[in-house]
Amino acid sequence: MDSSATYALLILTPIFFLNPTLSLEYPEELINGIHLGPINDGPLSSPPESRTVAFPPSPTLNFPPLVPALFVLGDSTVDCGTNNFLGTLARADRLPYGRDFDTHHPTGRFCNGRIPVDYLALRLGLPFVPTYLGQTGSIEDMIQGLNYASAGAGIIFSSGSELGQHISLVQQIQQVMDTFQQFILSMGEDEAYDLVSKSIFYISIGTNDYIHYYLRNVSSVQSLYLPWSFNQFLAHTMKLEIKNLYNANVRNVVVMGLAPIGCAPYYLWLHNRKNGQCVEMINNMVLEFNYAMRFTVEELTKELPDANIIFCDAFEGSMDIIKNNDRYGFNVVDDACCGLGRHRGWIMCISPDMACNNTSNHIWWDQFHPTDAVNEILADNVWSGLHTSMCYPMNLEDMIAQNAK
């Protein structure tokens, strides 16, 4: 460990010890200079300029698209580079993020490789969906889909605001509407409405409303809302936003539930858990939210004619992986691949030297995000329930087949 790394950690360690929530944040100008030792893992030894964000080409597809486009809204679970354009600490534009991606360069995805919507795009016969903030404004850049997701974003406008700029759900919906207006101006109203109505909209958001809002008791929210009331509030807000999309002719929506964040390495560290025992109190909140969202989706399906809305329970799919980790080939269940401290959950992934050599046997990539291997399994379940059924009332493949009739 060189002197700059020692200096940085001497500064960071007492800060994180005195206030554990600050382990989610870091001073960028300090972290840029950290080097923790020699790098021996091939792509990890790329020079500093490798942190330059690249918009990756998609693998060659050998069949026509099943739908016109895929549009993505959400948080860091599906952010593909939005936050690269924002003033925020919630960025994944440096190695080791992206080290196992197709380009072996960081793109802004909070993962070592692909995120779930990358795998789903390929299933749909579409290219990787580019970020809304990274496109040039031409219809050709947007016509097969856009990704509006922003790390740190929540259903509540201010969730995650302590990390810096982000695009909240309400703002993402507005960006979607702006995109639709561009479609109408370019291709005409009928053609634009047809494209929107046949496309898939994937929404994955809500985690930050717990991590960066309720669990931190921002604005004394816990004294105002019991967990169930807070969950109901979030679900009702989601319902209104999905209705706004429906009123703009959106008809096919995949709503992702929350993963078991009580099993994330950060909370295992924070609550001093032994043997990978998840934090039940947090997971119970997630279960309640997912229950409320599944009921909300059922209500919307009844209320909105011609709407195809499915709910995919990420908690159910993730717990299947955790409980049956041997069957899936994971032998590291409670430690992140990249980070520092117990469970590698104390300090977030900020240097290639913090990362393990082999991500394929890890469930968790960093404090909160799963590895590429887990993302692929979850995407397979969303698509067809390949490993376990987690989507209701049908999976995405069935939705597309139903629409084709």
Catalytic residue ranges:
76, 366, 369
Q: What is the dihedral of CA 37, 41, 44, 47, to 10 degrees?
A: 70
Bridge partners of 200, per DSSP, are 70, 252
- For residues 191 and 242, the answer to whether their CB atoms sit within 8 Å is no
Residue 15 CA to residue 26 CA, distance in Å, equals 10
Using CA atoms, how far apart are residues 386 and 262, in angstroms rounded to an integer?
25
State the Cα–Cα distance between residues 245 and 344, nearest whole angstrom: 39
The first and second tokens of residue 116, run together, are 């779930």
Contact 124, 70 (CB under 8 A): yes
Rounded-to-integer distance, Cα 159 and Cα 214, Å: 9
d(CA 81, CA 149): 8
Quick one: tokens of 5? 């790394």
203 beta partners: 73, 255
Burial environment of residue 212 by CB neighbours within 10 A (0 to 12, 13 to 18, 19 or more)? buried
Q: How far is CA 334 from CA 23, 92, 169, 328, in A?
A: 18, 22, 30, 15
* Residue 11 CA, distance from chain mean position: 30
Answer yes or no: are the C-beta atoms of 292 and 232 closer than 8 Å: yes
Cβ-based neighbour number of residue 137 at 10 Å: 7
Q: What's at 13, amino acid-wise?
A: T
**Do residues 297 and 311 make contact, with C-beta atoms less than 8 angstroms apart?**
yes
